[in-house]
Amino acid sequence: MRANWGLLLVFCFACDRDFFPKDLYDYQVERLLSGGDTKVWNQIIASENCQDSVKLVFSLLSGSPNDSVSVSRLLSNAACDGFDTTRLGNADASSFEDALTFTDSLNFSTGDFWIIQSITSTELSIIQSGQSVFFN
């Protein structure tokens, strides 16, 4: 009976969406962010105003010695008929040097970084300025 409870706990924790997927490599995180090429993530907001919407665009940059992603932010313009684009720079997923296992952040070439709280192929949660920001 105890083994069944232990197995149940393992499944509960494995399916908990608050935990970051374990044992991802840095390049896997970069591919999840970019969808393997270019991917647009839409911020989840509770507003009807189009000017509140934020989109992040991640484009995979393949090259040596490591892959990285180019990151841009799209904000709706005042007329809500287009976007103003800000290029945030190139970024690498952080990793332990010897294992290449992803640690927790996206490091920009400018010295800035974002903490990645969780990532799947359909959901992204990052910490910016101490706040959790959710994208899909």
pLDDT at 23 over 90: no
Q: Report pLDDT for 116.
A: 94
Task: Give the dihedral sign, CA 73/91/114/15.
Answer: positive
Q: Does a structural domain hold residue 63?
A: yes
pLDDT digits (tens, 9 = 90+) for 75-133: 988 888 888 999 999 999 998 877 788 989 999 999 999 999 999 999 999 998 889 99
Q: Is residue 8 part of a domain?
A: no
Answer yes or no: is 50 within a domain. Answer: yes
Tell me, yes or no, whether 68 lies in a domain: yes
Residue 64 lies in a domain: yes
Q: Strand, coil or helix: what is 5? A: helix
Bridging pattern class, strands 68-76 and 54-61: antiparallel
The answer to whether the beta carbons of residues 134 and 123 sit under 8 Å apart is yes
* Domain that residue 116 falls in: 21-135
Establish if 84 belongs to a structural domain: yes
Q: Find the CATH number of the domain harbouring 70.
A: 2.40.128
Q: How many domains does the chain have?
A: 1
Q: Give the integer Cα–Cα distance in Å for 108 and 128.
A: 13
Cβ neighbour number for residue 70 with a 10 Å cutoff:
17
In a domain, 29, yes or no: yes
Q: 């970084």: which residue's tokens? A: 113
pLDDT at 17: 43
Measured between alpha carbons, how far is residue 97 from residues 39, 63, 74, 100, 130 in Å?
27, 18, 33, 6, 27
Within-domain flag for 15: no
CA-CA distance, 85 to 76, in Å (whole number)? 9
